[in-house]
Amino acid sequence: MALRNRPLPTDIYEGWNSFLPLDGSAYVYGTSAEERSAHPSDWEARCSNVKFVRVTERNSSEVSVDLGVAASSDGNVQLRSKEQLRRFWNDVGAESVYLDITGLSHHVWAPLLRSALTTGSNLKAVYVEPFDYRFSPTPTEGEIFDLSERIIGISPIPGFASLTETDDDDVCFVPLLGFEGTRLQYLVEQVQPPAEKIVPIIGIPGFRAEYPFYTYQGNQSALRDTKAWKNVRFAAANCPFSLFYALEDIAKEYPLDLLKVAPIGTKPHALGAVLYNLASFRPVELVYDHPIRKPTRTAGSARLLVYHLSSLSLNIRE
Residues 178-226: pLDDT tens digits?
A: 999 999 999 999 999 999 999 999 999 999 999 999 999 999 999 999 9
Q: Quick one: pLDDT at residue 166? A: 79
**In which band, very low, low, confident or very high, does the pLDDT at 37 lie, cut at 50, 70 and 90?**
very high
Domain ranges for the chain:
10-132+299-311, 134-298
Rounded mean pLDDT of 63-72? 75
Q: Quick one: pLDDT at residue 69? A: 60
Average pLDDT of the chain is 90
**In which band, very low, low, confident or very high, does the pLDDT at 73 lie, cut at 50, 70 and 90?**
low
pLDDT of 318 higher than 60: no
Residues 233-259: pLDDT tens digits?
A: 999 999 999 999 999 999 999 999 999
Q: Is 189 exposed, middle or buried (0-12, 13-18, 19+ CB in 10 A)?
A: exposed
Read off the pTM.
0.94
| Cα angle: 304, vertex 308, 310; to 5 degrees | 155
Rounded mean pLDDT of 258-281? 96
Q: Quick one: pLDDT at residue 233? A: 97
Interacting residues of 265 by C-beta distance below 8 A, sequence separation 6+: 175, 176, 177, 178, 201, 202, 203, 215, 237
Which CATH class for the 134-298 domain? alpha beta
Q: Is 48 exposed, middle or buried (0-12, 13-18, 19+ CB in 10 A)?
A: exposed
Residue 15 contacts residue 305 (beta carbons within 8 Å): no
User: Among 113-117, 133-137, 141-145, 199-203, which is the least confidently predicted range?
Assistant: 141-145
Q: Quick one: pLDDT at residue 82? A: 93
Residue 174 contacts residue 262 (beta carbons within 8 Å): yes
pLDDT of 1 higher than 50: no
Q: Please give the Cα distance from 195 to 213 (Å, whole number).
A: 23
**In which band, very low, low, confident or very high, does the pLDDT at 231 lie, cut at 50, 70 and 90?**
very high
Report in angstroms the alpha-carbon separations of 248 from 129, 195, 317.
Answer: 25, 21, 17
> How many other C-beta atoms are found inside a 10 Å radius of the C-beta of residue 296?
12
> How many other C-beta atoms are found inside a 10 Å radius of the C-beta of residue 230?
11
Q: Quick one: pLDDT at residue 9? A: 92
Rounded mean pLDDT of 129-148? 81
DSSP conformation letters of the chain: ---TT----EEEESSGGG--PPTT-EEEE---SSGGGS--TTTGGGSTT-EEEEEEEEETTEEEEE-SS--TT-EEEETT-HHHHHHHHHHH--SEEEEE-TTS-HHHHHHHHHHHTTTT-EEEEEEEEEEEEPEEEEEETTEEE--EEEE----PPTT--------GGGEEEEEE--SBHHHHHHHHHHH---GGGB--EEESS-SSTTHHHHHHHHTHHHHHHHTGGGG-EEE-TT-HHHHHHHHHHHHHHSTTSEEEEEE-S-HHHHHHHHHHHHH-SS-EEE----EEE-TTSEEEEEEEEEEEGGGS------
